Amino acid sequence: MELIILIILIAFIFELMDSLAGMGFGTALAPLLLLFGYSPLQVVPTLLISEALTGAIDAFFDHEFQNVRFSFHPINDATKLSILIASFGCLAIGISIFLGYYALRFPDFLIKMYVAILVLFMGIFALVRIAIKNLNRNKRNVRLIIIFSTVAGFNKGIGGGGYGPVIMMGQLLSGIYEKSATAIVSLAESIVSFMGIITFMFISSIGVEIDFILLPSIFTGGFIASILAPYLTRVLPNKIWRYFIPVYAIGIGTYLILQLFCF
């Protein structure tokens, strides 16, 4: 029972960070759950289901609190950008899940190592993101966004994280306003995660055993945070999360690598 409560609390904190800073939920939570002893097939599908739902909630309330405006009639720039990012992410996540968990069946050690290295580099990239936040914001580089979207989708499928930091970096390098960028990440990540769920359902139907033991705890913490975070995004500065998340990511990634090789 104590572990369940701890996981709910951790999921709440990291989803809050994710919504405030555009990263932190899957990137920070996946390696921690692996350290707790859960397998990738327990962690990754659960995170995708949770983020498909909480990301949609985040995006809805970000729209309501005017952190961003999504419009389909007529379709506006924020909506077009979300669809562009999600489209390439969906393609990448489908391929990575099918290859990693069915066709090639990467061993757990390899997936954990990938997650550890990914999280370590995401922490470094996040620190770089702070350094480049004042770059020129006048011109959007669509090709750069496509590249970052594809890499992010692949990361999401293999390890359940590494999506938000990559997409945020791509958007900021391409001149997207930061608070709008976090909302766009939420909507795109929700769509990409849903595609990941469909892919896991497909490989489950052809013989891959998936365990959803973590789902109630992860979703409970993430759901509560997804309701509160958009309001906090509007009224609170997010500098603390910008620094805490990369430092945490570097620390947890380093520890996971040491655990895999030294313990």
pLDDT of 175 > 60? The answer is yes
Count of domains observed in the chain? 1
pLDDT of 202 > 80? The answer is yes
pLDDT of 111 > 70? The answer is yes
Say which residues have a Cβ less than 8 Å from residue 209's Cβ, sequence separation at least 6: 41
Helix or strand or coil: residue 114? helix
| Greatest C-alpha distance within the chain | 56
pLDDT at residue 43, rounded to an integer: 96
pLDDT digits (tens, 9 = 90+) for 135-169: 545 566 788 899 999 999 999 999 998 898 888 87
Range 15-24 average pLDDT: 74
**Residue 150, domain extent:** 2-262
Determine the straight-line distance between the first and last CA of the chain, rounded to whole angstroms: 27
Q: Using CA atoms, how far apart are residues 24 and 28, in angstroms rounded to an integer?
A: 5
